Amino acid sequence: MAGLAVDGVQRVVLHPEDDPLALACGRTLAPVEVAFTTHGTLDATRSNAVFVCHALTGDAEPAGPDGWWDVMVGPGRPVDTDRFFVICPNLLGGCQGTTGPSSIDPRTGAAHGLRFPPLAVSDLVAVHRRLLAHLGIERLHAAIGGSLGGMQVLQWLLDAPGEIANAVMVCTSPRLTAQNLALSAVARRAILDDPDFCGGDYAAHGVRPDRGLAFARRLAHVTYLSEEGMARKFARAEPPGWEREGDGARWLGPAYDVEGYLEHQAEAFLARFDALTYLYLTRIMDAFDPLGPAARVDPAARALCLSFTSDWRFGPEHGRRLAAGLRAAGAGTVVEELVDSPWGHDSFLLAVPDYLEIVRDFLSSGST
């Protein structure tokens, strides 16, 4: 595998019918196909691999002009593809090429729908580890992720001590609060109550629960921003004559900048994402709580826990609990950083200079 350098989305069946994936819920799943990208070149010692775990609505392409994490991954970026061999899959349960609830079940010829088994973060990591074995890599220089991506990195540290030398977890919670659970419940309820959901079999009926999924996306974007960030980003002015012209439908329609932003985000999301994946991945996050008394990590692993001041979804208190839990689990090196940013939870996707420099320094100074 030395010298491996293959860009573009690749697909591989990691769990064929005769080798099903054993899930945390006690069921099995096969076949499991994974879509993934790689960037950079694997060195002769196979010691420069960096695994990127994507967040809730990400995919297998973090780099380049259309990449969801272009500020972090690419030539000269903190995850420097001129130096590192970067691997990023669409995660299990996804809708961008990896097996998920909208994939076709070969036994029935129809989409799995709600018959798809419940998942846990440990199942996502099990598939990541199988992909790593497929690529012939035994140990990662680093694994990095934000939000749900960071949860995967944390679970990996616990499930396979010794496989990750340097772990970067950004905007990550080791356990959701009741407020977070409530926000996710409201989003899921909007999808489940959409008349076009059809008990999860909407594909068979030729419809999509777009109203519910669009509502979920609008709500999510409110939680991803901060009050200060919204004030900086959006004007408060109404359109001229808005309150006097036309009927109630016009008056109640989007008028303020922030309303237009939410409508745009909802429309763009419907073009690329699936409602069942949104349901499954948010539920996975709800149940995540891996740092119990028995949790143990490799004492040689280095961990960076990074939070942003204005993130109220997975804010500084979540980062503190994560760092404390890792120390209690035996981590020898835990770096805890709080970065000032007005942009809320979305800060991990943006070009916040201090944040990017901290990650760059951590990865550059880390052992293999």
pLDDT in tens, 60-105: 999 999 999 999 999 999 999 999 999 999 999 999 999 999 999 9
| Residues 208 and 79 placed together within one structural domain of the fold | no
Q: Give 236's pLDDT tier (boundaries 50, 70, 90).
A: confident
The residue type of 33 is: E
Query: Do residues 23 and 134 both lie within one domain?
Result: yes
Number of domains in the chain: 2
So what's the pLDDT on residue 241?
Answer: 74
13-60 pLDDT, tens per residue? Answer: 999 999 999 999 999 999 999 999 999 999 999 999 999 999 999 999
Q: List binding-site positions for substrate.
A: 217, 346
Q: What pLDDT, on the 0 to 100 scale, is given for residue 2?
A: 43
Q: 149, 62 in Cβ contact below 8 A? A: no
Q: Given the residues 147, 173, 226, 307, select the one marked as catalytic.
A: 147
Please say which residue of 269, 284, 299 terminates a domain. 284
Whether residue 243 lies inside any domain: the answer is: yes
Let me know if 43 is a catalytic residue: no
Q: 15 and 118 share a domain?
A: yes
Cα separation, 204 vs 26, in Å, equals 28
Q: In this predicted structure, what is the pLDDT of residue 1?
A: 40
In this structure, are 16 and 142 located in the same domain?
yes
- Does the reported pTM lie above 0.85? yes
CATH assignment of the domain containing 55:
3.40.50.1820
> What would the pLDDT profile of 114-150 be if each residue is shown by its tens digit?
999 999 999 999 999 999 999 999 999 999 999 999 9
Determine, yes or no, domain membership for 5. Answer: no
Would you say residue 312 lies in a domain? Answer: yes
| Residues 14, 158 within the same domain | yes
| Assigned domain for 216 exists | yes
225 shares a domain with 80: no
CA 182 to chain centre: 19
Q: Which residue spans within the chain are E strands per DSSP? A: 10-15, 21-22, 28-29, 32-39, 49-53, 73-74, 79-80, 85-89, 104-105, 110-111, 140-146, 164-170, 302-308, 333-339
**Residue ranges making up the domain that contains 242:** 179-284
With a cut of 90, say whether residue 245 has pLDDT above it: no
Residues making up the binding site:
217, 346
Do both 208 and 246 map to the same domain? yes
Known catalytic membership, residue 311: yes
pLDDT number for residue 255: 85
Q: What is the mean pLDDT of residues 320-331?
A: 97
Rounded to 5 degrees, φ, ψ at 317 are -65, -30
Do 69 and 155 belong to one domain? yes
CATH number at residue 243: 1.10.1740.110
Residue 134 lies in a domain: yes
Domain shared by 117 and 155, yes or no: yes
Q: How confident is the model at residue 158 (pLDDT cuts 50, 70, 90)?
A: very high
Digit-coded pLDDT (tens) for 174-185: 999 999 999 999
